[in-house]
Chain A
Amino acid sequence: MDFAWLLQSLLNGLSIGSVYAVFALGYTLVFSILGIINFAHGAVFTLGAYLTYALAVGRFGINGLLADVTMPVTLPFVPALLVGAVLSGLAGMAVERLAFKPLRQRGADPLLALVSSLGVALIVVNLIQYLVGAEIYSFPADIFGDLPMAVIFQIGGKPVAVRTIQIILFGASLVMLAGLGWFIGRTRGGKALRATAENADTASLLGISVNRFILGTFFISGLLGGLAGTLIGVSFGVAGPYFGVSYGLKGLAVIVLGGLGSIPGAVLGGLVIGLGEAFLPSDMSSYKEAVAFVLLFAILLVRPQGLLGGRLEQKV
């Protein structure tokens, strides 16, 4: 327990935790406007990572249907990341149109959309496997051009490594969080979104097109999911079509721990879980996946509504 270790863990935890926050906000946005969890969010996360990989590297793997197909052009990393995120946002819109809207318009029980979104998730994951195979992808080491992999500082005679990817994770997440906060808190579109989340019927009577706002929400949600998928993929590799499943579960832990439907809660929850994982002693690192849920249980025992969850509002 020395100072350099603390600093290194803090750095690791903040950078990965900020990506968890970005990812989990995708759940939060949809939940706050529809009151249900979009189980296809993890699949969009996976899709985002693959799309950015294809755009930046120009290849689709070696044993799927698209094996040996190459992209005519490749993009530098940052444009690839942005285009991949926008395409993920469009995928999010497709999820709304396929899994949510048809049921909603027929007045079905909202819980049914859990099942239909899970169905869409499975289709996406299987489609990815069919098209590009199941092997693990790693972004090439030179993806950031001439930037060094890491800068090593000496703190009290011990090394602390600041990896380039950590800076990118943290920076991109901060930009997304700030942008989202500004949109929701400051703009009229964001306020209409909050009004719709609070009471969709009343919002529609004030002329707000509720379905368009829901579609827009799924776009932002998919954008956040795809971006998070790419960032995790660059950091740890894209671990096959089922890559998003464990992150999807972790994202659920983040939003429940932070307080369902709370935007600051999702950010705090992401950071708590990221830091919790980072401070796990290295001889226990194979239990990393359990950290999120151990923290979740511990906090729910004390605060059943999550860290920043308010009272659950009942709609009349």
Chain B
Amino acid sequence: MSALLQATDLRRRFGGLMAVCDVSIEVRPGEIMGLIGPNGAGKTTFFNLLTGMTRADSGTVVFDGHDVTRAKPEAIARLGLARTFQNIRLFGGLTLMDNVRVAGRVQARHGLLSGLCFTPGSRREDEAVTEKAFDLLRLVGLEDRADHLAASLPYGDRRRLEIARALALSPRLLLLDEPAAGLNPSEKLGLADFIRAIKERFDLTVLLIEHNVPMVMGLCDRVMVLNFGQMIAVGAPEDVQRDPGVIEAYLGGDAHGAA
């Protein structure tokens, strides 16, 4: 099967720092792929390149058959690539419901002033978006707080809301940036099951950055490893775990300078 996402020789430099250096990777439809590496390895920059938030110096990104190397973030999002953030970015001044509905509105056909509800078509669409948003809130167990402001949520719930909001885009590929960060042990355990469940239910492909090694090993079909911006390994979790270069990156002296 052809790749859903294909990055080829992707490179980005920040001043003297080579944040991502000639990384090539294929993400296949339906897989859960892990992205690991020491702090400062370029993982989040790699996500930013894929989503159009950061421009690549060279290389290409092809998503679902479209060359999105120079595309705007909103165009990439509409093609079905959604992400969450390591430092959660909700719209604190909007309710939970509106956080999800705002993302859902890109499916709208009625443009900038959609939701003005002047036509039966736009009203029906508005209702459909609301219904879908409510379903997503129920999925993450936040439906009883749909009217609360997102800023009022405790930390663990914010992560779940951010995932619900990403799902409102009806993505084909979901990028999760450290979804387990800051969660307590029981929440972490539930998270792996939750990711598997939404993958099945929404027919997703998942690429996730994670530091929690047991979770990555248990959850992911394949794992890629970045170190100093370079991809040093990719493959099945158990193979990557035995790779000498990976062990060196995590335990060797060089890694300490990379933080």
Interface residues of A (CB under 8 A from B): 183, 187-192, 194-195, 198-199, 201-210, 212-213, 216, 316
Q: Which of B85-93, B185-193, B251-259 contacts A (4 or more CB under 8 A)?
A: B85-93
**Min CB gap A26→B, angstroms:** 18
Residues of B in contact (CB 8 Å), total: 35
| Residues of the B chain whose Cβ atoms lie less than 8 Å from the Cβ of A208 | 74, 102, 105-106
Tell me, in angstroms, the Cα distance from A212 to B74 when the chains sit together: 11
| Residues of the B chain whose Cβ atoms lie less than 8 Å from the Cβ of A206 | 74, 77, 82, 102-103, 106, 165, 168-169
CB under 8 Å from chain A, chain B span 116-138: 116-117, 126, 129
Contact flags (1/0) for B154-194 with A, using CB distance below 8 Å?
00000000000100110000000000000000000000000
Tell me, in angstroms, the Cα distance from A183 to B73 when the chains sit together: 26
| Residues of the A chain whose Cβ atoms lie less than 8 Å from the Cβ of B116 | 183, 187, 189
Q: Quick check: A204 and B74 within 8 Å, CB to CB? A: yes
- In the complex formed, the residue of B with least CB distance to A313 is B92
| Residues of the A chain whose Cβ atoms lie less than 8 Å from the Cβ of B115 | 187-191
Q: Quick check: A205 and B51 within 8 Å, CB to CB? A: yes
| Residues of the A chain whose Cβ atoms lie less than 8 Å from the Cβ of B99 | 195
B98 contacts A by Cβ under 8 Å: yes
Residue from B102, B108, B112, B165 with most neighbouring chain A CB atoms (10 Å): B102
Q: Quick check: B94 and A191 within 8 Å, CB to CB? A: yes
Q: Quick check: B91 and A194 within 8 Å, CB to CB? A: yes
Residue from A191, A208, A210, A316 with most neighbouring chain B CB atoms (10 Å): A191
Give the top 7 A-B pairs by smallest Cβ distance, nearest first: A188-B115, A207-B106, A207-B77, A204-B73, A206-B103, A187-B115, A202-B89
| Residues of the A chain whose Cβ atoms lie less than 8 Å from the Cβ of B103 | 206-207
Q: Quick check: B51 and A191 within 8 Å, CB to CB? A: no
| Residues of the A chain whose Cβ atoms lie less than 8 Å from the Cβ of B112 | 189, 212-213, 216
B43 contacts A by Cβ under 8 Å: no
| Residues of the B chain whose Cβ atoms lie less than 8 Å from the Cβ of A192 | 102, 105
**Min CB gap A308→B, angstroms:** 14
Q: Quick check: B101 and A201 within 8 Å, CB to CB? A: no
| 10 intermolecular pairs with C-beta atoms under 8 Å apart | A188-B101, A188-B105, A188-B108, A190-B115, A195-B98, A204-B72, A206-B77, A207-B169, A209-B74, A316-B87
**Min CB gap A81→B, angstroms:** 22
| Residues of the B chain whose Cβ atoms lie less than 8 Å from the Cβ of A195 | 91, 94, 98-99, 102
CB within 8 Å for A191 and B72 given contacts A205-B51, A206-B165: no
B78 contacts A by Cβ under 8 Å: yes
B139 contacts A by Cβ under 8 Å: no
B213 contacts A by Cβ under 8 Å: no
Tell me, in angstroms, the Cα distance from A209 to B168 when the chains sit together: 16
Tell me, in angstroms, the Cα distance from A212 to B98 when the chains sit together: 20
- In the complex formed, the residue of A with least CB distance to B117 is A187
B53 contacts A by Cβ under 8 Å: yes
| Residues of the A chain whose Cβ atoms lie less than 8 Å from the Cβ of B101 | 188, 191
Tell me, in angstroms, the Cα distance from A209 to B114 when the chains sit together: 13
| Residues of the A chain whose Cβ atoms lie less than 8 Å from the Cβ of B72 | 204
| Residues of the B chain whose Cβ atoms lie less than 8 Å from the Cβ of A212 | 112
Tell me, in angstroms, the Cα distance from A198 to B151 when the chains sit together: 12
